[in-house]
Each structure stands twice: as C-alpha cells, then as structure tokens.
Amino acid sequence: NIGSGGTAGTITYTGSGHGSDRVINLAGSTGGATIDSSGTGPLTFTSQPTAAAGAKTLTLGGTNIGANSLPTTSLAGLADVLTVQKSGAGTWRINGFSSPKNAWSVTAGTLLVAGGITTGDQNVTVSGGTLAGVGPITLQSTKSLTVGAAGSLSPGLSGAGTMTVTGILNLSAMAGGTGKLNFEMSAPASSDKIAVTGTAQIGTGLLGLNDFVFTDLGGMTATTYVLISTTGGITGTLDPANRLGSIGSISGALQINGNNLEFTVDSDLDGIPDSYELANTTPPSATAFNPSDDLDTDGSTNLQEYLAGTNPNNSDSDADGFLDGVETKTGTWVSASDTGTNPLVF
C-alpha cells in the first residue's frame, strides 16, 4: 500500500534492475503514490496496480532511462479521476491502461505508450518531456491530447511507427514554443506518422519545419510523405516563412492537403511543390515556374494560385465568370469559388 488518507507515499528504487510481481495499491483517499526508479537498471512490474476510491495521482518518476514498465492495467470499477503523471528525466513504458476517468500528464522525461490507453472523459497533456510510442491513445471526441510549449511527440517504439490518436490533437502551443515533433524517415511506408481519428489543431501561422526534428534513416524517396493524417481536418495554418527545407537529400515543403499535413518534394525550394509544377507546365517541368509570375493574368501569382488551389493557366478556374484573382483576394486566401459576397470588401 502506498498513501493513506490524504497523505501521499513514495517508493524509490536504486538497484541494478528488478522485476516484481508485487501489487502497487494506491490506498489513500486523495493521497497519491510515486514510484521513483533511479537505479542503474530498470524496474518492471508484472502485476497491475490497484486503487482505492478517491481522486488521486500515480506519479512515475526517477532518472533511469531503461525499460521501466507497468503491465496492461484495467481499473474499470474506479469511479474517481486517476491521473497518471510522468515526471523526472527517466523513461516509463505503458503496455496498456484504462479507467473510466483516466487523465495523463507528462511533465518530464519520456512516457512510452506501447499499448492502448483509454482516458474516458479526461484529457492527455504533455507540458514537458516527450510522449512517445504507437498507442492507440483513445479519448472522447471532445477531449484532447494537448502538447504544451515545452512538450514533444515521438511516434514509434524502437523504430519508425504510427502513433494513433482518437479525439483532438492540439499542437498550437507547441508550434509557438520549444517543443518538437520527432520523426524518423525512410521509405514512406517505413517512416513515422501520426494518425488522428478526429481533428488536429496547429495554431495560426505557427507550425513550420523548425518544429520538427527529422532523422534520416536512409531510403527516402522523392515523393509526398503524410506526416499527420486526420479524419476531421487540420485547423489552423502553417508558418509561411518556415515551410521549406530538406530532409537528408530530399528538398521539399510542408503543405496542408485536404485532411493531411504533408512534406512534399519541392526540388527548387520555391514554395511550389514539384507535383503542382509538373501538372501545370508543358512540357512538364518541376522547376519551370517563377513563383512571382502571373501566367494567366488574373491578378494572382503562381505561388498564390498554388496556395489557393486554383489553376495558374486558367484565369477562371471554376468557370463562374469571376477571375480567380478577384475571388481569392478577400484579405485571406480562402477559396476560388463564388461565395455570394463582394470579394473586394475587406
């Protein structure tokens, strides 16, 4: 038993590595428990923890960066909020965890999600440190995995992989802060990815290539990589000054394409992807466009046509009698279709 009444308790391990079948029981009503693994080897538990009634926190801490772990845990009968907090510079691995009111908080170190976690009506916050792994991380549709200004995400376990999230992925604060999205890259099917059943929020003009740390594992090809896929769309816009760069030998650009955030090849780093230039030039060329030119004299440059999703060779892409350059100049780039409003009124 750790904790009693409103008093919290701590177990500190300083050995060379140990596996235990002991049951950790959070016995306090509101007093939580801390497991501190700060030895030279990891601490692993094979029996799932239990918890008495009352809202409390289980803190996984310490400095050991080995495979400290809890087994698959289900606390289906617990009616109160149980917060699992990752603190300290070390690493803890979660092989599966669920309860009806299961909040998660990462403040330091690494929390590696190797099996599904289900949060019920609670949220997941990463204010510091790194949330890594594959999940799935399952939240209610109105609840969020929120990465703070100093928090980071790293899809994959021992290598590249896909982190799956159900709910809302909120990266807005991270995009304006020091946190990072850590991706290992190889062939498209062997590269890191975040897959969201729901929406992803990236802030307004904040997320850019500098918010990513890409590790080139070799085998990258000149194609489009889906970094974040969603079913509900991307809310927000990219940092226009931080879209272009290279991963290994591949030069490219970040883009929002439908419901996905992608890194797509842009061999001349002019802000217009090769695929768009090839589709709109005769003979096809990946480098022929000058971003500042206006080929169809509709008032929009080639770069603006790409960003608006219009045809740089057709001044009226939707054939409604209005020039693309008029329809899209509403103060922000929104659509080339007729909105029924005066596009010249800002």
SS3 (DSSP) at 294: coil
Residue 7: the pLDDT is 86
173: its two tokens: 């604060």
Task: Yes or no: say if 24 and 35 are a contact pair by the CB < 8 Å rule.
Answer: yes
Residue 305: the pLDDT is 87
Q: How far apart are the C-alpha atoms of 265 and 221, rounded to whole Å? A: 9
DSSP 59-124: EEE-S--S-EEE--EE-TT--S-EEEEE-SSSEEEES-EE-TBEEEEE-SSEEEE-S-EE-BT--E
Amino acid identity of 160?
Answer: A
The DSSP element (H or E) to which 326 belongs, if any, is helix 324-327
DSSP 189-207: GGS-EEEEEEEEEEEEEEE
Q: How far apart are the C-alpha atoms of 55 and 51, rounded to whole Å? A: 10
Split at pLDDT 50, 70, 90, the class of 329 is low
SS3 (DSSP) at 39: coil
The DSSP element (H or E) to which 303 belongs, if any, is helix 302-308
Q: Is residue 221 pLDDT above 60, yes or no?
A: yes
Model confidence, pTM: 0.88
Split at pLDDT 50, 70, 90, the class of 11 is very high
For 83-138, write each residue's pLDDT tens digit.
Answer: 999 999 999 999 999 989 999 999 999 999 999 999 999 999 999 999 999 999 99
Measure Cα distances from 92 to 41, 63, 137, 199, 283 in Å. Answer: 12, 10, 16, 28, 55
Split at pLDDT 50, 70, 90, the class of 12 is very high
Q: Region 147-159: what's the mean pLDDT? A: 96
Q: How far apart are the C-alpha atoms of 82 and 3, rounded to whole Å? A: 14
137: its two tokens: 């991380």
Residue 296: the pLDDT is 86
Q: Is residue 336 pLDDT above 50, yes or no?
A: no
- CB-based contacts of 303, cutoff 8 Å, min separation 6: 270, 271, 272, 291, 292
Q: Is residue 328 pLDDT above 70, yes or no?
A: no
Q: How far apart are the C-alpha atoms of 320 and 318, rounded to whole Å? A: 6
